[in-house]
Amino acid sequence: MRHDWCVRYFEDAKTIWLTQVPKRGQASTVAGELLRSVEKLRDEATRNGNVNWGGGHARLLAYLRSHLLEEGGLPAEEQLVIAGDLDRLADYEHPETDGLVYDRITDGVVLWARAHPEPVAHKHDPGLGI
């Protein structure tokens, strides 16, 4: 299945980034933390080739899975595509540097945020460290 995605919801993603993602540390909302997670994983892969990949990155990936693949969070077809993208990122020994994968996941974050129009509090993860 091929999708021609490229952050379809750029303006919404930008709004989430500007309003819900802090300059450092974890976000106070799930939508903000989901978007922060995508960008942390993108940065590690594209800037560092995943040489610093560790437990924190695996936790970010698990966080994305737990929310984006939850029942009723996204349309089934998009969940399927995003599940494949998250599986691709989990293969950290072969860093994903194609921005399209991260863009599709970002679109998933926006769709998740639309499905949860009231901000959902993110519980701080003291073990995250990144």
- pTM of the entire structure? 0.92
pLDDT tens digits, 83-128:
999 999 999 999 999 999 999 999 999 999 999 999 999 999 998 8
Count structural domains, the chain: 1
SS3 121: strand
Q: Kindly state the tokens that stand for 78.
A: 């998009």
Burial of 121 (0-12, 13-18, 19+ CB in 10 A): exposed
Domain that holds residue 37: 10-115
pLDDT of residue 130: 85
> What whole-number distance in Å separates Cα of residue 96 and Cα of residue 24?
24
Q: Kindly state the tokens that stand for 33.
A: 């933390």
Mean pLDDT of the chain: 92
88 domain residue, yes or no: yes
4 domain residue, yes or no: no
126 domain residue, yes or no: no
51 domain residue, yes or no: yes
123 domain residue, yes or no: no
pLDDT of residue 7: 66
121 domain residue, yes or no: no
Q: Which amino acid is at 56?
A: G
Query: Is the pLDDT confidence value at 3 over 90?
Result: no
